[in-house]
Amino acid sequence: MQRLIGTLLFIGLLGLFSCGNDNPSAGGNAPAQDFPVGLNLLTWRYLAQDAALIKGFELRYRTKVNVIVKPMRDIIEEASRGALNADVVLLPTLEDAVRLRNFNVLQPFFVDAFTNGNVDDRYLDNEGYYAGLTRWTMVSVYNPNAVTSEEAGSYAGIVKATRRGIRLGVAHPDSSGLAGVVAGLNANLNSKAAAIWAQSVYEKSVGGPNGSDTDQLNRMLSGQLDMAFVSLGMAVRWFLNGDPQHFKAAETWRVRFPHTQATDINFFNITCVAMPANAPNRNMAVALINYLFAKDVQQKLTNAWFEYPAESFTEANDYLYGFPDQIGLKVNAETIEQNIPAAWALINQIAEEQE
């Protein structure tokens, strides 16, 4: 990453203060007063900053939010049984929102933030089942001594690099935005191009797609990989989580947002908010969702998650401007959603062929 060393030092100190880890924070949900429980929030991750924002909501609405933290695999399993016991659910990827919608456990919702134009239409489901709180993309984190900037900067380049022997790490599609990239390629290029890219990445990645994004960065740190294809927010939080080795890696490695060579397009993903179909406290759920799209709250979310805002009037975290690329905007969430089934069909077919 090409950025000024003084800015890097400042941001590193900011990261020590703001990032924490992806585990629930002990005691972070306690409201200032003994309010009654107004709603249940289900989420896969609860950072210290998230707890502070929820506490602000509790004080403003004089209610208590019961925060339920579960791994996404458990949330998906619960959804497969036909219901989610919550009023609001936060999801790390667009793919997860599509999964829950396919299980018929979500209901449409509409909030003031949409009416007021606070949220860009490209981050909303046309039928109202999900909305993007923040947006991000899959990125190439690479060792410049082994991988060129040109290779890391395009989807075709990633494949070419693996064919000459560089070691690529990719998380399992269930825990990354990999399916979203395949869906984007399917929509923007064609199914053949998407299939060739997916198969190449699947076959050439070290050990095949496995583990999480964090696992890939840890493998890279230990010298097992030359490049990791991971989510932007996860990469930056890993760099700035307070570990001196990670911070040193941020100075040594580089990050590119891959684009298509033919059309110069990058595919964004979104961290989603949705409303379970059986939400017992819909009015309070709507209030929370509106709160999460308020400009000041969006700014804090994007700072905490190191992702780009979905709220139209909020600026991205300054750290993100240190990267040489900008996130793509030409393909909207609805288009990615429509191509998710085809992407999963391709991925599942490739996985079966590898068995």
Q: How confident is the model at residue 33 (pLDDT cuts 50, 70, 90)?
A: low
Return the closest-CA partner of residue 67 out of 48, 94, 92.
48
- With beta carbons less than 8 A apart as the criterion, state whether 99 and 130 touch: no
- Answer yes or no: is pLDDT of 157 > 60: yes
| Contacts by residues 119-128 (CB-CB < 8 Å, ≥ 24 positions apart) | 119/293, 119/310, 119/311, 119/312, 120/310, 120/312, 121/332, 122/329, 122/332, 122/333, 122/334, 123/270, 123/310, 123/332, 123/333, 124/333, 124/334, 125/97, 125/333, 125/334, 125/337, 126/334
Residue 125 DSSP SS3: coil
Q: Which two tokens stand for residue 51?
A: 């707890």
Residue 255, token pair as written in the block:
């990050």
Biggest CA–CA distance in the chain, Å, is 62
Alpha-carbon distance of 328 to 158, in angstroms, equals 18
Give the SS3 label for residue 43: strand
**What distances in angstroms separate CA 69 from CA 44, 50, 55, 118, one per listed residue?**
5, 12, 16, 28
Alpha-carbon distance of 305 to 69, in angstroms, equals: 17
Which tens digit of pLDDT belongs to each residue from 340-351?
999 999 999 998
Q: Is 230 helix (H, G, I), strand (E, B) or coil?
A: strand
Task: Answer whether residue 74 shows pLDDT above 90.
Answer: yes
Residue-wise pLDDT tens digits, 173-220:
988 899 999 999 999 999 999 999 999 999 999 999 999 999 999 999
- Which of 30-39, 139-148, 225-234, 256-265 shows the lowest per-residue confidence on average (mean pLDDT)? 30-39
